[in-house]
Structure 1
Amino acid sequence: MSVDLRVEDGVATITLNRPERSNALNQEHYRGLSTAWIEVRDDSNIRAAIITGAGDKSFCAGADLKEFIPNPPEAREMWLTQTDQLLNRGLEVWKPIIAAVNGWCLGGGMTLLFATDIRLAASHAQFGLPEIKRGIIAGNGGTQRTLMNLPYPLAMEMLLTGDPIDAATAKNWGIINKVVSADELMPKAMEYAHRIARNAPLAAQASKELALRSRDVDLATGLRMEQMFNRFLMSTQDATEGARAFQEKRAPRFVGN
């Protein structure tokens, strides 16, 4: 399958496995990616996820335009908004997601990156939104999430020039957390994922949801939501376990309940 999913020790690794096409996605691969995200969302054994690309040249080159442009979807599909939902196109996945960018991150790969929570890149990675050079726009959230992730002039530079930036610039602009060597990329991503997975999973998901929803609500509403979420979390087994483990000076054993 061109989208591989592996789960080990509470961490899911999704690999876009089409290196001969720079891990570009056609309709079949988008469906496979949607299925993978839904499994991450619904499997209670998964506490964190990593998304990466196969090979050492490309994370994801976005949509496979050689297939999409000559074969656009039918007009009626415009309103099938719940079909094959993606992380960057409406699917709500509150589990923490780490991007391990192992090469070119372009177009839909970039908008996928913008929908992740922690982002690592190999030093040779390149980032860009080149759609404007092909006569189209950055879709699947490209025109929306770029300004959420970057100051206005930097976002508009990416959207309007279509020119790529290197990993050092991406880190300087705040798009990614760390730049590492290619051989350190997956070990570092896995280290992050395991650090997250050791924490209380319900609290991790609540933290992510509240942080993202803060973009859409006023401060008073956000503070009230935060209070309500914390009141709920205090009633869970994990909160009891966290307090007991602190008192007994040991590592907590969270179960997500």
Structure 2
Amino acid sequence: MGPVERISYEVDGAIRRIGLNRADKRNAFDLTMLRELSEAFTRYDDDDAARCAVLFAHGDHFTGGLDLAEVGPHVKAGGTLFPEGRVDPLGIVGRRVKKPVIMTAQGWCLTIGVELALAADIRLAAEGTRFSQLEVGRGIFPFGGATLRMPALTGWGNAMMVLLTGDVFDA
């Protein structure tokens, strides 16, 4: 039996369900998970029968953020997060998804989870979901688009309060 895929992909009529599937690690994104998410978004975008994707997470939490022990050194060395020619789920570099994405969150939704929410067309959160863009507390820069999208969606003051403090907020 091979390793469990970190991203699940389900077909339900014209809907594609893309699931974060690393619940034992609070769905923390390592390089494999980032690549698999890009592949799933590309598969959805290339599927003529698909009309909408729902991005969700298996387990109690949407994501604990990036697996910094693995992703940090890769980014510092100038490595790319998503395969060339594939969809960038954050919509920052390269190919972007052309179809609607709905994101649902529960539990903790940290860092890249917030950035995926900001990149989605529609965002839904279960009662009690907690969000944080906590990079500032670690002295690192949020590179997934939050610094651009959050002010546009929430207003300058609200965005700065979250981005400059790393405070936890709810839906």
* TM class, shorter-length: 0.7 to 0.9
Cα distance in 2 between the residues matched to 1:61 and 1:86:
20
Matches within 5 A, 1:137-216: 137-167=141-171
Q: Hey, what does 1:102 align to over in structure 2?
A: 106
Q: Hey, what does 2:63 align to over in structure 1?
A: 60
Matches within 5 A, 1:80-159: 82=84, 85-88=87-90, 89-90=92-93, 91-159=95-163
Helix, strand or coil for the counterpart of 1:133? helix
Helix, strand or coil for the counterpart of 2:62? strand
CA RMSD of superposed structures (Å): 1.9
Please report how far the alpha carbon of residue 62 of structure 1 lies from its aligned counterpart in structure 2 after TM superposition.
Answer: 2.3
More strand by share: 2
Helix, strand or coil for the counterpart of 2:18? strand
Say if 1:13 and 1:111 are closer, same or farther in 2 by CA, change over 3 A: same
Please report how far the alpha carbon of residue 12 of structure 1 lies from its aligned counterpart in structure 2 after TM superposition.
Answer: 0.3
Cα distance in 2 between the residues matched to 1:135 and 1:101:
26
TM-score by length of 1: 0.60
Q: Which letter maps to 1:147?
A: P
TM-score by length of 2: 0.88
Q: Which letter maps to 1:36?
A: A
Q: Which letter maps to 1:87?
A: P
Higher relative contact order (CA 8 A, sep 6+): 2
Larger radius of gyration: 1
Helix, strand or coil for the counterpart of 1:60? coil
Q: Is the 8 A contact 2:87 2:97 kept in 1?
A: no
- Matching of residue 9 in structure 1 with residue 13 in structure 2: yes
Cα distance in 2 between the residues matched to 1:122 and 1:149:
20
Q: Deviation per CA, 1:20-44, whole angstroms, max 9, x where unpaired?
A: 1111111111000000000110001
Please report how far the alpha carbon of residue 94 of structure 1 lies from its aligned counterpart in structure 2 after TM superposition.
Answer: 2.1
Q: Is the 8 A contact 2:87 2:96 kept in 1?
A: no
More helix by share: 1
Mind listing any 5+ residue stretches in structure 2 that lack a counterpart?
A: none
Q: Which letter maps to 2:135?
A: E
Please report how far the alpha carbon of residue 144 of structure 1 lies from its aligned counterpart in structure 2 after TM superposition.
Answer: 1.5
Q: Deviation per CA, 1:208-246, whole angstroms, max 9, x where unpaired?
A: xxxxxxxxxxxxxxxxxxxxxxxxxxxxxxxxxxxxxxx
Helix, strand or coil for the counterpart of 2:114? helix
Q: Deviation per CA, 1:102-155, whole angstroms, max 9, x where unpaired?
A: 221110110000011111111020111001111101111121111121100000
Say if 1:25 and 1:151 are closer, same or farther in 2 by CA, change over 3 A: same
Mind listing any 5+ residue stretches in structure 1 that lack a counterpart?
A: 168-257
Equivalenced residue count is 164
Q: Which letter maps to 2:89?
A: L
Q: Which letter maps to 1:119?
A: R
Q: Deviation per CA, 1:62-111, whole angstroms, max 9, x where unpaired?
A: 21113223554534x47x99465422133321211111112211101100
Q: Is the 8 A contact 2:42 2:86 kept in 1?
A: no
Q: Hey, what does 1:45 align to over in structure 2?
A: 49
